[in-house]
Amino acid sequence: MDYQALLERIADEVAPLVGSGTPAGYIPALASVDPSRFGMAVADLDGRVYGVGDWRTPFSAQSITKVFSLALALAEGGDSLWERVGREPSGNPFNSLVQLEYENGIPRNPFINAGALVVTDRLQTLTGDASSEVLEFLRQESQNPDLGFDADVAGSEQEHGDRNAAVAHFMASYGNMDNPVPALLEHYFWQCSIEASCADLALASRFLARHGLRADGSRLLTRSEAKQINAVMMTCGTYDAAGEFAYRVGLPGKSGVGGGIVAVVPGRCTLAVWSPGLDARGNSVAGVAALDRFTTLTGLSVF
């Protein structure tokens, strides 16, 4: 398949949507990002990567990093993690506290903020440095040693992180936190602040298309675990718009409020797209449209 020509066609077709939506305003360091940016990359199983637009421009990965922290927590600690976090869509905004009280402090899934905090807590217990583990994994899988944290974004999230702190303390009251909440939040904010490009994220996600195999051929996850993460991405990866994303795109995907989305075609390739303008549910307007065009033009949906 001529991925390069395909990406160029997609970029042309979604160009009218670039700039639509609004960058994430509740994190001041993200609110000032130019909404006219757009990039898209595809990485095949062998590590060849193709791109268009701003595909090599680093941006704030935000919740996309939750995929990698989940994979590392499962790889390091096994499926006992699922005793502390569910695998069901929430149906509520990603930062909601509503369900936690009547579900005894067990978050619905690992991709809403509450669930991601549990995953980070687990990874911190297993490794002693959760945020650095995620960063180092991304550096290795993307083969880009220059990936790093954005201190301004991390600081901005810390300063405006009252709701995440409330969620973490609430779960701690139910015994679903092992580490001190302030230290946990610090790792969570630093993890979300990682900057990476579409090329980096497409390459780093390949283990999910390779059924758990890392870039160097070693096994990170069992085939079953890779399947499980892809399944949870499909049902929970785009906040409370997962049904719409499955309907339009038909691939496991994970979005972030930095405007990025990664998607997986198991056994074939991975994709990453970035455009900072978000819809009301926190997903990139042009990014979702670009992935929709990809699966429509290629037929490479899981359905």
Measured N-to-C along each axis, helices 130-142 and 113-127 cross at an angle, to the nearest 10 degrees, of 90
Among 283, 194, 290, 191, residue whose Cα is nearest residue 236: 283
Look up residue 243 and give its two tokens. 């049904």
- H or E element that contains 147: none
Catalytic position from the list 63, 156, 193, 197: 63
Question: Tell me, what amino acid is at 96?
Answer: S
**Is residue 174 among the annotated active site residues?**
no
Please check whether residue 97 is in contact with residue 173, taking contact to mean a CB–CB distance below 8 angstroms: no
Question: Tell me, what amino acid is at 28?
Answer: P
Catalytic position from the list 18, 42, 60, 66: 66
Catalytic position from the list 181, 188, 264, 273: 188
Backbone φ and ψ for 117, nearest 5 degrees, come out as -65, -40
The C-alpha atoms of residue 8 and residue 11 are separated, in whole angstroms, by 5
Question: Tell me, what amino acid is at 255?
Answer: S
**Is residue 239 among the annotated active site residues?**
yes
**Is residue 257 among the annotated active site residues?**
yes
Catalytic position from the list 52, 257, 264, 288: 257
**Is residue 188 among the annotated active site residues?**
yes
Catalytic position from the list 52, 142, 239, 288: 239
**Residues of 132-142 as b/e, b for ≥16 C-beta within 10 angstroms?**
ebbbebbbebb
Active-site residue numbers?
63, 66, 188, 239, 257
